[in-house]
Amino acid sequence: MHDLEPYYKWRRYYIASEDKLSPYYNKVYDEFKFTNKVYNYYVHPQWDSFGSQTLYAKVLIADYSSGIAFIELIGEWNDILYNDIMLLKTNLINPLIDNSITKYIILCDNVLNYHGDDNSYYEEWWDDIKEDNGMICFVNTLLHVTQEMERAQLQYYVNFGGELDDIDWQRYLPPQVVAKVMEILNNTVKQLDY
């Protein structure tokens, strides 16, 4: 896990440590000192902690004018033992909401497991953004992660699974990924309307 870096090709558009509105503003990264771990496995020092013991994040894009954020995750998402959603919501999402981010594309390619508990923080997150045409999309969750999220009934507040699990987002620019996600969501709504 220590050699899995957050996606870096969008750094020409956004760097969280240079964004005065970011919770990671002025953070200095040490490329040689590994401190964050998922259990006994170190993660690359470019990943940011938001308080979880097993899940780390990287804000790849925070576009305040369009209200869209891309957040990449790595590790084990454990709401049962560590209440990761509370930490994510409180320490990372709330500051973004406070700065008009209402659309979230959470890149879950490296989320290895999900252990769900109460879905009230997901509901709160949805309630905080729904009046502003908000959305929460988990992209590229592994099949067993999707199944666990369904058991926790996250689908009432978060879009995930289906075609959202098959987006080769690293091949595209951020606006193209947003367009693809919106196309999938719109097609899903049309299918439900018949």
pTM (predicted TM-score): 0.95
Higher pLDDT, 173 or 35: 173
Give the strand pairing for 68-78 and 103-115.
parallel
**110-123: b or e for each residue (b if 16 or more CB lie within 10 Å)?**
bbbebbbbebebbe
Instruction: Using the predicted structure, report yes or no on whether residue 192 has a pLDDT greater than 70.
Output: no
- Residue 128 phi/psi, 5° resolution? -70, -20
CB 138 within 8 A of CB 165: no
Centroid of chain to Cα 6: 12
* 66 neighbors 60 (Cβ within 8 angstroms): no
CA distance linking residue 66 with residue 133, whole number of Å: 11
CA atoms of 93 and 153, how far apart (whole Å):
20
Q: What's the CA gap between 163 and 160, in Å, rounded?
A: 8
* Model pLDDT, residue 194: 42
DSSP state of 6: P
Report pLDDT digits (tens) over 24-75.
Answer: 999 999 878 888 899 888 999 999 999 999 999 999 999 999 999 999 999 9
Tell me the mean pLDDT in the region 178-193: 80
Cα separation, 70 vs 101, in Å, equals 10
Task: Output the pLDDT for position 189.
Answer: 59
Q: In this predicted model, what pLDDT tens digit does every residue of 131-158 receive, in sequence order?
A: 999 999 999 999 999 999 999 999 999 9
Fold of 16-193: Transcription Regulator spoIIAA (3.30.750)
DSSP 8-23: -TTTTT--GGG-TTST
CA proximity to 161, closest of 179, 147, 182: 147
Who wins on pLDDT, 1 or 58?
58
Digit-coded pLDDT (tens) for 84-139: 999 999 999 999 999 999 999 999 999 999 999 999 999 999 999 999 999 999 99
